[in-house]
C-alpha cells in the first residue's frame, strides 16, 4: 500500500470546502434557500436570488457565524 498521508493539495481543498460549506449552511438556515421542486425555472431563480439578497443584508461585523443573529 502507498503512503496514505494527505498531500498539501488535499489540505488546501479541505480548507476551501470548509468555507463553502459554511456559506451554504448560512444560506440554508438563515436565508431559507432550500431545495424545492419548482415547476418553473424562473421561479427557482427568483427563490435563489431572494435568498442571496437576504444574505447581503446580514450583519457581517463578526467573523464567526452566530445562528441567534438573524435578519430581524
This prediction's pTM: 0.50
pLDDT given at position 67: 57
- In whole angstroms, give the CA distance from residue 19 to residue 21: 5
pLDDT given at position 71: 47
Least Cα distance to 48 among 58, 33, 38 occurs for: 33
Half-sphere exposure of 50 (CA within 13 A, CB side): 9
Task: Pick the more confident residue, 69 or 2.
Answer: 2
The radius of gyration of the chain from alpha carbons, rounded to an integer in Å, stands at: 17
Per-residue pLDDT tens for 11-38?
899 889 988 888 788 778 877 777 677 7
Amino acid at each position: 500500500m502507498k503512503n496514505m498521508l494527505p498531500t498539501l493539495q488535499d489540505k488546501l481543498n479541505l480548507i476551501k470546502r470548509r468555507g463553502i460549506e459554511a456559506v451554504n449552511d448560512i444560506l440554508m438556515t438563515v436565508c431559507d434557500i432550500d431545495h424545492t421542486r419548482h415547476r418553473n425555472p424562473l421561479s427557482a431563480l427568483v427563490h435563489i436570488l431572494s435568498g442571496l439578497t437576504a444574505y447581503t443584508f446580514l450583519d457581517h461585523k463578526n467573523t464567526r457565524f452566530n445562528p441567534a443573529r438573524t435578519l430581524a
